[in-house]
Amino acid sequence: MNTRQVIDTSEGPVSLSATFNSDSSCFSVGLDTGFCVFNADPCELKVSRDFNAGIGVAEMLGQSNYMAIVGGGKQPKFPQNKLVIWDDAKQKAVITMEFRTSVLRVRLSKSRIIVALLNSIHIFAFSNPPQKLSVFETTDNPLGLICLGKKLLTFPGRSPGQVQLVELETGNVSIIPAHSNPLRAMDLSPDGEVLATASEADAGNLDPVAISPSNTLLAVTSDKSTLHIFDLPHPQVSSRRSQSPSSTSEDGLNQKWGILGKIPLLPRMFSDVYSFASIHFEFGEDHPSGTPYLPSLGTSFGQPSKGVIGWINDQTLLVIGAGKQARWEKFSLCEGGGKRICVREGWKRYLGVG
């Protein structure tokens, strides 16, 4: 098998959450003892901070020294309704924000701080002190779903299955009736042209979804411990298809959002297109296959993140997970037997946990 040996089997901290930065060049990990940052490929430790207390959410600002952190685990460093912007160059908190309920997810840009609570999205200017720009109500959003692009912000709407799209420059809001069931996953392409969503009713309990850098491929992991790769339909082909409940159907919105308004979203894609490649990835013994998993142990909802996808390029993608057996796995797309296949190039328990 084309795998590599475990490098270190010593005991170590437990990973509560794992998430890629905006370009998947790094990933940050919330630990029961602090947080750490890894280079994505090759998987190498860059930063490690020991607080002797838990961090359930750890989000990077690109490749900068700024981190958004929230307490989590059995002994949280901070209350879960408290968001701290950490400057790792100074190794101290530079901004502190408190909310009425737990902070579930954070997204950062050079100009904005986006915070997801269970029933609302809060947008702040990245300043000290932060200036509140707007607040949007949402349906229950326990997974803290937010996608932040250069010009566009997306998150659940007020009704289950809806997606709200906010133009960051103008504040204009559009609504996509994507599904009839609550959203389970969402990803916005790097250029903001393609949005992929999955709902709780999608076959196989689809969880993380990720669009490739060129907008031509979609990767999906499931709670069955499988990674699937799909071709994204060409927008001209998609526009000729009949519209589904999960794609925008109003002519004005189609013209406004271009490709975003024409490419069918999940589950339409899964009703008429099969993945061209699939492969098993590891959940780890601390999270049996088939068990629903949620963003982090830092929330009150339970399971550590698993099957989180990061595209390095259109031929290479990584899958990471948290937990006692926190793993990094590398997969490549190649030709085999006259068809495209996905192969595992290597794996690593990135915290050295045996």
60, with CB counted inside 10 A (0-12, 13-18, 19+), is: buried
Tell me how far apart the alpha carbons of residues 22 and 19 are, in angstroms, rounded to a whole number.
Answer: 10
pLDDT at residue 264 in the model: 41
Q: Mean pLDDT per 10-residue run, the chain (354 residues)? A: 43 87 96 96 95 96 96 95 97 96 96 97 96 97 94 96 93 91 91 87 71 94 90 56 34 40 43 78 63 40 76 97 91 92 95 58
Residue type, 304: P
In this structure, is residue 3 part of a structural domain? no
Q: What is the DSSP string of 160-216?
A: TTEEEEEETTT--EEEEE--SS-EEEEEE-TTS--EEEEETTSTT-EEEEEE-TTSS
Domain that holds residue 138: 15-349
Write phi, then psi, for 310 (nearest 5 degrees). Answer: -135, 125
In this structure, is residue 269 part of a structural domain? yes
pLDDT at residue 295 in the model: 43
Tokens 């709200």 — which residue?
Answer: 164
Write phi, then psi, for 35 (nearest 5 degrees). Answer: -150, 165
pLDDT at residue 235 in the model: 52
In this structure, is residue 94 part of a structural domain? yes
The CATH number that applies at residue 321 is 2.130.10.10
Handedness of CA 188, 194, 200, 206 (dihedral sign): negative
Q: What is the 3-state secondary structure (H, E, C) of 33-63?
A: CEEEEEECCCCEEEEEEECCCEEEEEEECCC
In this structure, is residue 226 part of a structural domain? yes
pLDDT at residue 233 in the model: 75
In this structure, is residue 131 part of a structural domain? yes
In this structure, is residue 224 part of a structural domain? yes
Q: What is the pTM of this model?
A: 0.84
In this structure, is residue 291 part of a structural domain? yes
In the chain, the number of structural domains is 1
Residue type, 199: S
In this structure, is residue 7 part of a structural domain? no
